[in-house]
Amino acid sequence: MLVLIGSSPQEVARLAADQVLAGLKFHGAGSEPVLGLATGSSPLGLYRELAVAVSEGRADFSRAQGFALDEYIGIPDTHAQSYRQTLINEVCSVIGLPREGLHVPLGVAESVADLEKAAAAYDESIRQAGGVQVQILGIGANGHLGFNEPGSSLRSRTRIKRLAAQTREDNARFFEGIDSVPTHCVTQGLGTVLEAKRLVLVATGPGKAQAIAAAVEGPLSASCPGSVLQLHEDAVVVLDEAAAAGLTQVQYYNDSAAGISDADLHLG
């Protein structure tokens, strides 16, 4: 796992965007970028930095596909707080990803069985697209990844989940009070997330310090779904100093951040 700590919101956003761009295929055969998208405040600066890369000709999302991590159940996908609308506003119109390329789990159906069928089809559509090249992630204060709340199976697939009380409280700011926040969602499973070729998680602020310490340095445990990053071979965690405050190995992470060159190893 690579842990990068930025000293300003701009640096966090830039470091994260560089890690995302390095993992995407923009050129050559089969090179349409396939991006996994998170909503929430954590990746907003990262999306703005991707837009800068587009304006400078370093990136092009006009043929990209984007797969959302999750969607609320029970609000139409035209609702302003649905994750489809959020991603259209905060990602598609910012980085130039076409709406036709945006995939979001189905959150409205006639029955639980229909939602479950659509959830399984969602995993299949990710496979059909060749898999997610880079999955962008935030983390909940309770350690959730996507909406895989504590206790979620580490091998779970896209499915229906009940939202934790803390998650509903955290997200009430986007709704007219807690009672309007949906109780359930459809979320990519932790097993689904782990299939992305690269994971880039962004976390900022003191409210994330405990979850980050548990995810990065705690034991692998369903009690902290974010700890599943420890199983991935190419996971990058980008933090500000406040979110990194609970980590014990910061010096090592900073020393390792520059990567390994021939000169470091006295080769060549």
**Contact by Cβ (8 Å): 13, 45:** yes
Which is catalytic among the residues 103, 142, 171, 240? 142
In the residue annotation, 149 being an active-site residue is answered as: yes
Question: 202: closest CA among 7, 82, 44?
Answer: 44
Alpha carbon distance 19, 236 (integer Å): 8
Least Å distance between CB 61 and ligand F6R?
A: 18
Q: Strand pairing of 70-72 and 65-68?
A: unpaired
**Contact by Cβ (8 Å): 180, 79:** no
Alpha carbon distance 87, 84 (integer Å): 5
Q: Which lies closer to ligand F6R via its Cβ, residue 64 or residue 139?
A: 139
In the residue annotation, 264 being an active-site residue is answered as: no
Q: Which lies closer to ligand F6R via its Cβ, residue 136 or residue 247?
A: 136
In the residue annotation, 123 being an active-site residue is answered as: no
Least Å distance between CB 260 and ligand F6R?
A: 30
Which is catalytic among the residues 149, 170, 171, 240? 149
Least Å distance between CB 251 and ligand F6R?
A: 27
Q: Which lies closer to ligand F6R via its Cβ, residue 147 or residue 253?
A: 147
Least Å distance between CB 32 and ligand F6R?
A: 22
Closest residue to ligand F6R, based on beta-carbon distance: 138
In the residue annotation, 142 being an active-site residue is answered as: yes
Residue 202, both tokens: 């962004």
Alpha carbon distance 237, 240 (integer Å): 10
Q: Which lies closer to ligand F6R via its Cβ, residue 101 or residue 146?
A: 146
The binding site for ligand F6R (CB under 6 A) comprises 38-42, 69-70, 138-140, 144-147
Q: What is the DSSP letter of 163?
A: P
Which is catalytic among the residues 70, 71, 123, 240? 70
Q: Give the CA distances from residue 55 to residues 10, 15, 49, 153, in Å, rounded to whole numbers and listed in that order.
A: 17, 18, 10, 41
Residues labelled catalytic: 70, 142, 144, 149
